[in-house]
Amino acid sequence: MSLIRTNLAKVPAYRPGRAVPGMIKLSSNEVPDGPGPEVLRAIADAVRSANLYPDLHATELTTKLATACQVGAERVAVGSGSVALLRSLVNVVCEPDDEVLFCLPSFEGYPLLVRIGGAQAVHVPATAGHELDLDAMRTAITPRTRLIFLTTPNNPTGTAIRREDLEHFLAQVPGHVVVAIDEAYREFVTDPGVPDGLEYARSHDNVVVLRTFSKAYGLAGLRIGYAVAAEGIAAALNTLRIPFSLGAVAQAAAIAALDGQEILQARCRRITAERDRIRRELLEHGYDVPPSQANFVWLALGDESTAFAQHTEKHKVIVRPYPGTGVRVTIGTPAQNDTFLGAARDYAHHRP
């Protein structure tokens, strides 16, 4: 008999974005700049008390997030990255073999988290326009469906769900199914037709919004995420958090980062301007690139995806290929982006 739970044998490994020293890494949706001076100061202060356990309940951070999200603190859960909260959510919601529905391609963490939770992943292909197929997702709901991941903007395609589509979808999902709106890239949204998921978390008991400090806030290395949910779900998520897993340095950095909203907005403006420039240039070179609301673009290259990624590596740029589907390219500094565009232009000229 195996010493390991039998259904863990099939847990897929998480594949991080490739990194090669000396090359430009546009494969993990990181922002190009490190923390600003205020955040660095908060980190330095916190690290001096590293002999002490962190605040178990992350009270100050939770209170600040609640104010920012216009909900009571009892509706906020924090965790070491939004992946930790997504994983807990599966455990909070799903009985063994319940179904968790999500789009493909989408965040590659989902299949892994669902498996570990003992649930079943059900995926629905994206539309021809690389968007979440909400009609197909609704049709895929069965009596076993307990949880739906809506990724908006979607990783890796960059597309976001529009207000009327989200509202139509939510109106049709049975009330006992939890809809987790994964807004890891929310801060990069510039299209006013894309709603703020928090609106629905406030008004629907079965809607959970997940956000992170890893992307626009630029704190991926410190691991902080949060969820806004109905009180019962938020309490369950906080209960499932491993005690003290949200460290003191992470809490202090997140608090300082929240206080730096102008810095955040300026960073997002720079990145989204670059995103729109890159997309325009790629379209001019004949690439199929859906409009992105995130800090990356998606090149729907199908069978050429692996070859394209190999080509950009010759130009010292690492992108993220999804073999047979497409390539995700994170927005870097203007100079990094120019190097990537040079590689993409070159590829387009020598395209098979």
Ligand X SMILES: *Cc1c(COP(=O)(O)O)cnc(C)c1O
- Residue position matching structure tokens 């330095």: 44
C-alpha span between 323 and 333 (Å, rounded): 26
Q: Provide, rounded to whole angstroms, the least separation between the CB of residue 217 and ligand X.
A: 10
User: Binding to ligand X (CB under 6 A): which residues in 3-42?
Assistant: 29
Per rule CB under 6 A, is residue 295 in the interface with ligand X?
no
Among 32, 81, 117, 158, binds ligand X (CB under 6 A): 81
Per rule CB under 6 A, is residue 88 in the interface with ligand X?
no
Contact 133, 125 (CB under 8 A): yes
The secondary element (H helix, E strand) that includes residue 24 is: strand 24-25
Per rule CB under 6 A, is residue 83 in the interface with ligand X?
yes
C-alpha span between 288 and 302 (Å, rounded): 10
> If you write DSSP's letter for every residue of 224-262 in order, what string do you get?
-EEEE--HHHHHHHHHHSPTT-S-HHHHHHHHHHHH-HH
Q: How many residues touch ligand X (CB under 6 A)?
A: 13
Greatest Cα pair distance in the chain:
60
User: Binding to ligand X (CB under 6 A): which residues in 166-195?
Assistant: 182, 184
CA 92 to chain CA centroid, Å, is 20
* Nearest to ligand X of 182, 304 (CB atom): 182
User: Binding to ligand X (CB under 6 A): which residues in 206-265?
Assistant: 212, 214, 220, 225
Eight-state DSSP code of residue 8: G
Per rule CB under 6 A, is residue 116 in the interface with ligand X?
no
Per rule CB under 6 A, is residue 197 in the interface with ligand X?
no
* Nearest to ligand X of 126, 343 (CB atom): 126
* Nearest to ligand X of 217, 308 (CB atom): 217
C-alpha span between 65 and 59 (Å, rounded): 10
Q: Which stretch binds ligand X (CB under 6 A): 3-11, 75-83, 171-179, 280-288?
A: 75-83
Q: Provide, rounded to whole angstroms, the least separation between the CB of residue 1 and ligand X.
A: 34
* Nearest to ligand X of 29, 339 (CB atom): 29
Q: Provide, rounded to whole angstroms, the least separation between the CB of residue 294 and ligand X.
A: 8
| β-strand partners of 45 | none
Per rule CB under 6 A, is residue 107 in the interface with ligand X?
yes
Per rule CB under 6 A, is residue 82 in the interface with ligand X?
yes
Q: Where do the DSSP E strands lie in 300-351?
A: 317-318, 320-322, 326-330
Give the residue nearest to ligand X (CB).
81
Tokens of 211: 């956000």
* Nearest to ligand X of 193, 221 (CB atom): 221
Q: Which of 283, 278, 264 has the alpha carbon at shortest distance from 334? A: 278
C-alpha span between 323 and 304 (Å, rounded): 8
User: Which amino acid, one-letter code, is at 12?
Assistant: P
* Nearest to ligand X of 155, 325 (CB atom): 155
Q: Provide, rounded to whole angstroms, the least separation between the CB of residue 105 and ligand X.
A: 11
* Nearest to ligand X of 61, 341 (CB atom): 61
C-alpha span between 145 and 88 (Å, rounded): 17
Q: Which stretch binds ligand X (CB under 6 A): 42-50, 76-84, 114-122, 191-199?
A: 76-84
Q: Which stretch binds ligand X (CB under 6 A): 31-39, 79-87, 276-284, 313-321?
A: 79-87
Q: What sign for the dihedral angle of Cα 178, 200, 269, 260?
A: negative
Q: Say whether 145 sits in a helix, a strand or coil.
A: strand
Binding site for ligand X (CB under 6 A): 29, 81-83, 107, 151, 155, 182, 184, 212, 214, 220, 225
